[in-house]
Amino acid sequence: MESVERGPQAPATDAAAALLAGLVSRGVRHLVVSPGSRSQALALVAAELERAGLVRLHVRIDERVAGFTALGIARETGVPAAVICTSGTAVANLLPAALEAHHSGVPLLLVTADRPPELRGVGANQTTRQPGLFHSATRFEADLPVPEVVDPDATTPQTDDFDAIAATALAASIGEGARAAGPVHLNVPVREPLAGAVPAWLLERATRSAPADEATEVDASGALYQGGGGIGIADVAPESDAVFVLEPGPRTIVVAGADAGPAAEELAHLGGLPLVAEIVSGARFGRHVVHAYRALLREAHLGGRVERVVVFGHPTLSREVALLLGRDDVDVIAVRGPGEPVNLNGQTRAVDAVRAGEASDREWLGEWMRASRAAAVDLSPPAPDADGLSSAVPHERLGAINAEVAVMRAPVDRAALVDAVWRATWPHDRLVFGSSRLVRVADELLAGKRVAVHANRGLAGIDGTIATATGVALASQGEDRPGVTRLLLGDLAFLHDVGALLLPPGEHEPRLQVVVGNDGGGTIFDGLEVAGVAGVDAMERVQYTPQNARLEHLALAFGWEYRRVTTRVALDQALTSAVGGRQLIEVPLAR
């Protein structure tokens, strides 16, 4: 390793070194930095850790983008990334990611530089009340002491204190001692000089083993669903190891919401139960998946006869499921997961795990499966007429050719778009859904398939969708692992996070396809109550948010490959062609 010139040390840098080394020594492998003056000591230590090969460093000029990039990394790995930023409004821009992390149960470390306490509330530049800014969402927060001493050999109490804070923060973020992973806020006030030489002991402390009395360090297991989680500090539930055993009797279905994971499918398989799995659940696979579940839940002889529901994850995509979980005549069993607990009927029982009983209701399962098969939709293009194409009869051959040409020229609608993306994605890939109309179309139409799916459904906002997908791609493709990350979203969600298209030169470029269904505005409102009460002019003015942005120009400006496709054949080709970096695929859709 090449030697680094070292000048005078500064308390700010020594404290930053102790804090970040404490995180890295316990398993944190990604740091996301938004540069600033007050945070320079933290940023320079991060750069040194990257130079030594101990972390992957991601630099973003927009703190909101930085926060959601870290969120995506943690969604994929289950390990928090640390976000570093300067003081003032920079910190406030982390709030959307913090709230999503809180409601989804995703670990996140927010490390914010600050002015010292004597400069707060006196009109000092770039200074506000940062401590407590994320209080309602954090698992742990600390306004750290102002570093006062230089520590040339890592022997002062200051270094030990900052290392201990790192240990506490990481444990809280991954949910140790509580049921919920989530965000942690470490506010780091410093006085001038704001930075000095990185201490010689940084790398030794960053690579040392954690003390023996600490919990096992985190590792990138890739499993977000950890069987804990879902509560904030103010809502801590009594400790419980409750395992609910499904005895035969009540007519039961399994519901899998966002981040449910394969545990929901496993229970449905072992218990012989129908599985209602949202497209963002990671559980839409297996023999018991119910197709077109919304319509079947509305039917009295199926949805109307449900007596018990076992819920995994956070269901958000259909009113039918919400109405079912809100019924007071249905026994709802919610398995504690990484996100906010489900209790729509006010009497839901939360348990740690569910075990299938010895007997299942085969007649009940059979009713659902027969209805599911009858309601399934085949979205695949029609197969070529082989006999017609080879026929010696001119009109038969011409008819078959014309049919093939019609298939090739058929415009892409929303159903074809979601089907093409779903078909192109395989287990080694990642699929991210934005909170757009398209995720609801996908949820309504797509068949079962075991793929890794991500979506920010904690608050179901359109914030940070591209940044989240970038984080997922960066984390999933580390160490030269194969696969492509595809993000499917609408035009407004895309434009809302357009700043995430910017990546610094020299950083690792993820294999990422951003697929934008562009209908010129928010047509999701067509299916909501407002469409029945608002006039045409008002809908256009304050709901649809019409736009005519030139996406190809944005792609060019930010260095992305751009493709515009209008037919299913062209879309399939674009999605399955080799991906070497960042691609923006625009698919025009009719309003």
Q: How confident is the model at residue 213 (pLDDT cuts 50, 70, 90)?
A: low
Specify the residue for token string 């009797």.
249
Q: Binning pLDDT at 50, 70 and 90, where does residue 189 land?
A: very high
Span 291-328, pLDDT tens digits:
999 999 999 999 999 999 999 999 999 999 999 999 99
What is the reported pLDDT for 231? 24
Measuring CA to CA, which residue among 206, 155, 283 is closest to residue 45? 206
Cis check: omega of the bond before 107, within 30 degrees of 0: no
One fold for both 11-206 and 240-375? yes
Task: Work out the angle between the directed axes of helices 437-445 and 414-424 (0-180°, nearest 10).
Answer: 70
Give the CATH H-level superfamily of domain 11-206.
Thiamin diphosphate (ThDP)-binding fold, Pyr/PP domains (3.40.50.970)
State pLDDT tens for residues 24-36.
Answer: 999 999 999 999 9
DSSP 258-309: BT--HHHHHHHHHHT--EEE-TTSS---STTBPTTHHHHHHSTTTGGG--EE
Burial letters 454-482, b for 16+ CB under 10 A, else e? bbbbbebbbbbbbbbbbbbbbbbbbeeee
- Report pLDDT for 209: 81
Superfamily of domain 410-588: Thiamin diphosphate (ThDP)-binding fold, Pyr/PP domains (3.40.50.970)
523-582 pLDDT, tens digit per residue, is 777 777 777 888 888 878 888 888 999 999 999 999 999 999 999 999 999 999 999 999
426's tokens: 């395989």
Q: For residue 286, give the nearest of 372, 401, 221 by alpha carbon.
A: 372
- The 10s digit of each residue's pLDDT in 445-463 is 999 999 999 999 999 999 9
* Helix and strand totals (H; E) in the chain: 21, 19
Q: Are 222 and 77 in contact (CB under 8 A)?
A: yes
Distance, in Å, from the CA atom of 520 to the CA atom of 510, rounded to the nearest integer, reads 28
Give percent of the chain with pLDDT exceeding 90. 76
**314 backbone dihedrals φ, ψ, rounded to 5°:** -125, 95
Task: Tell me the domain boundaries of the chain.
Answer: 11-206, 240-375, 381-407, 410-588
Question: Measured between alpha carbons, how far is 469 from 512 in angstroms, rounded to an integer?
Answer: 8
The answer to whether the CB of 276 falls within 8 A of the CB of 252 is no
- 229: confidence class by pLDDT, cuts 50, 70, 90: very low
Q: Which two tokens stand for residue 124?
A: 């000092």
Closest by CA position to 518, among listed 572, 589, 417: 589
The pTM for the full model equals 0.91
CATH topology of domain 240-375: Rossmann fold (3.40.50)
Residue 525 has what DSSP assignment? G
Other C-beta atoms closer than 10 Å to the C-beta of 135 total 12
Average pLDDT over the chain, rounded to an integer: 90
